[in-house]
Amino acid sequence: MLRSDYLSNLNEKQQEAVVSLDGPLLIVAGAGSGKTKVLTSRIAHIIKSHKAFSNQILAVTFTNKAAKEMQIRVSKLLRKEVTGLPWLGTFHSISAKILRKHAEAVGLKSNFTIIDQDDQIRLIKNICKSENIDIKKISPKYILAIIDKWKNKGFYPEDVILKKRETLEKNFLNIYKIYQQKLIDLNSTDFSDLILHTLKIFKNYNDILSIYSKKFKYILVDEYQDTNFVQNEWLKCLSSINKNLCCVGDDDQSIYSWRGAEIKNFLDFDKVYKNAKVIRLEENYRSTQNILSVASGLISNNQNRVGKTLKTNSEDGELVSLNCFRNGKEEAVALSDEVEKNLKNKFSLNNIAILVRAIFQTREFEERFLKIGLPYRIIGGIKFYERAEIKDCIAYLRVVYQDRDDLAFERVINNPKRSVGESTMKQIHECSKKNSLSLVRSAKKLLEENQIKPKAKIGLNFFLNFLQKWKEDLVIKKIDHVKLLQIILDESGYSALLKNKKDIDNENKIENIKELLSAMKEFDNLESFLEHVSLATSIDQDWDGQKINLMTMHASKGLEFDVVFLPGWEEGLFPHQKSIEEKGDKGLEEERRLAYVGITRAKKKAFISFSMNRFYQGDWIDSMASRFVEELPTDLVEKNTFYDDQENQDSDFDFNQDFESQETKRSPGWIRYQKRLK
């Protein structure tokens, strides 16, 4: 075996993966097993051993960040022996490079433009308008998602075969045909076209394919488990002559099927590529053995996997903590107190993370952290009370509570669309300034004087009449503030907008609004709730320094933390009901892989928890522990509660004491909160 600096720092299996250069190779790289190190060392080895020049190596990543990191690492290993890797990049950037040279083969010119999502949506809107398709019911974004799904499967419009029941997709297919022709007419592509067009060239022009498949003596692919159909076909084409295709990834971390990723590519690698070698990297350099064993025990319940057993040379570490709580609020209180009392003294807040299945789950933790002054950040998302749909709901409530709230009025007057455009709003503002009136009163005055254009007049009348009705509901009928918001959302058309419009983001928005309704239930009246929101959105916004991390498990992939909390392990929430309903066993296995990803983010300590009750849409819902809880290795899991001060714990779960009694324990955060009140 060739010895070099870059090899001496690798374990035996990593070395084998680096020096095994001939033929197809699948590297099954477990979480924290050093896959990037192996990939970069392999590139360095190819160049150092004179197997290929740097411009004969194709290295593919999924993100520009990963490509940049790989470039830097290779440069360090080679110590300036190579100036760069011209064919290191993402699937899209490399495809664009190839497509520029052969654009005419797909009806484009070499100076084609690549349009972004905003341009795509604008183009789809124009097509829908010309085809008399109502974008209020079907969002352009949703149509684009369907088109993108077809492109990920390698389908041009003429390749799409619809089933009888897919009536809605028939309209989409017609839009796809027009959309694709428009792109050609504009000499443009979207991001998906970059790979699709390149693949079409490879399959239709053997001479062009031959140039590149001969050129690339070695092909390396990162995160192979995330490839879709068209990306995999692209790789097959380019590796067809030299056969030296090396794919690195972890099937147990395949969690992006909703983006088109097909785990089948990974599982069938040794069937598709003859004489393929499979090397497993099972030594983990991130987590303690107990964390790894718990994750391995859980994922072993999946049937569709290559299989591996993670191990580490580090200590066994603490047992994984499994906690049961009566409700979500107790879960948030307990978690924050654990951070305050124990973890904060041992670990940086930056190295502590809370990983949730759905983004609406962050609300209770945010509320608690704001209350006790614990700094936090949302990774890959927006803070709860800053989300657009939440701000919309609160604006409706504010203008009902106080019709002189001009900012709230401006936000909701045309949301949903009521034909109250910029010119009408300009009229209302001018009237307001001239007569020293609120925007609501100015709008009423202009209507009375018949100064509003007919179309806008209908929408403005609609809103103002309902605004008066909602005020009466609140003041005269004494309708509960939670019920009032539900009425407002229904009668304003906001609920219908979210429920009836096919949009990929709307489900999350609906979940967030349901969570808002739950939050409102905790307050006696509308006034106290609005005051709470004002304080929550203004408090501690200038936090500097260390912050605890909140994010979804999807957003956590590729990250690591000393301590990880995994709350909300309840049936229906995790595994998510929708995933199981839509995909059956495949969906369940992907949810289990997501749990595996969550657990393996932890380096030192992992806390898993679930609640027996959830406050959901203003009502208490009984919940059941996730089936994943039962699948955890019992000998490696410590079943307890954060507040159990007894030396001898029962083997079964203990419910926490009353919430009020916990506050008497006087955590540092609670003390800070009391001082702030004074």
- Is residue 601 part of the annotated active site? The answer reads yes
Catalytic residue among 190, 193, 223, 340: 223
Catalytic residue among 253, 361, 424, 641: 253
- Is residue 223 part of the annotated active site? The answer reads yes
Structure tokens at 368: 């608690």
Closest-CA residue to 512 (of 534, 485, 487): 485
Catalytic residue among 592, 601, 604, 605: 601
Bridge partners (DSSP) listed for residue 320: 637
CB 115 within 8 A of CB 121: no
24 — phi, psi (to 5°)? -70, 140
Structure tokens at 395: 């604006």
Catalytic residue among 222, 330, 331, 515: 222
Catalytic residue among 13, 35, 42, 605: 35
CB 369 within 8 A of CB 336: yes
- Is residue 654 part of the annotated active site? The answer reads no
Distance CA 598, CA 552 (A): 9
- Is the CA virtual torsion 375, 376, 377, 378 positive or negative? negative
User: What number of residues does the chain have?
Assistant: 678
Catalytic residue among 36, 427, 468, 657: 36
- Is residue 471 part of the annotated active site? The answer reads no
Distance CA 649, CA 607 (A): 18
Structure tokens at 413: 């007057």
Closest-CA residue to 597 (of 241, 298, 331): 298
- Is residue 36 part of the annotated active site? The answer reads yes
Distance CA 397, CA 280 (A): 57
Distance CA 80, CA 38 (A): 19
- Is residue 251 part of the annotated active site? The answer reads no
Q: What is the DSSP secondary structure assignment for residue 121, as one 8-state letter?
A: H
Distance CA 376, CA 546 (A): 8
Burial of 495 (0-12, 13-18, 19+ CB in 10 A): middle
User: Which residue matches tokens 């598709």?
Assistant: 272
Distance CA 233, CA 243 (A): 14
Structure tokens at 104: 């005419």
- Catalytic positions: 35-36, 222-223, 253, 601
